[in-house]
Amino acid sequence: MIRLILMTALIAFATSSSYAQAPHEHDSQDSSEITEQDFQALGCLKANSNQRYQVDLGNDKKNDFLSLCAKETNNSAWCAQLVRPNENSYNAFKCTYGSNQIHQLIHPDEATWKYPIEGVRVIQDLQAKGLKVCQIYNWWRPEPYNKNVHGAAGRHPFGTAIDVRFCTNGDADRAFKELCKMRAAKRIRAIGHYGSASLHIGVGDKTANTWGKSCI
């Protein structure tokens, strides 16, 4: 009975908090509120051997990716943040891959690297306009980790986008307007506004759209 009550409470928490399933075109911003054990109790999806292999393959290319990013962005410090998954999703990451997996993700397909690197250039251009950026907190988010944080299926698993946290909501709103101009110029394909200081910058997303806020 106690276990049933605990499970009911966990499920109620998960469905009423930021961990709840996001709408189709949204990515959740994840949650650090739920422990790894809670994720397991809620039925966390474990990565299979091939999925773990892809993560390890990408991690083996970390230095190559960072070298290329540095070369093409004038040694931007943002490159290092691209390979670090969202710190707020740490427990979901560990539940997916196990406690021994380094908290790091690099897409193993080098053909995708142009997307986050262009994302860094976009950030640099926004900063040049006086907008304050605090963090890149998502790039590649493969399955089933992406599903465990309730991310949209057609975005981060393909390595085509980054999520960026601006230092204030005002900076995010002004950045959204600038990103709309970039989208009109076909520099990026999608923009997501999370109703906070965070934006999704879909440099190469297959679905070209906006959500959370309109460019019009």
CA–CA separation, 28 vs 106, rounded Å?
Answer: 20
- SS3 of 132-166: the string is CEEEEEECCCCCCHHHHCCCCCCCHHHCCCEEEEE
Say what the pTM is: 0.84
Distance CA 18, CA 60 (A): 33
pLDDT for res 6: 38
The structure tokens listed for 77 are 């410090």
Q: What is the pLDDT of residues 30-74, one digit of tens each?
A: 544 556 566 555 679 999 999 999 999 999 999 999 999 999 999
Altogether, the residues listed in the chain come to a count of: 216
Looking at residue 216, its pLDDT comes to 82
Cα–Cα distance for residue pair 47/25, rounded to 1 Å: 24
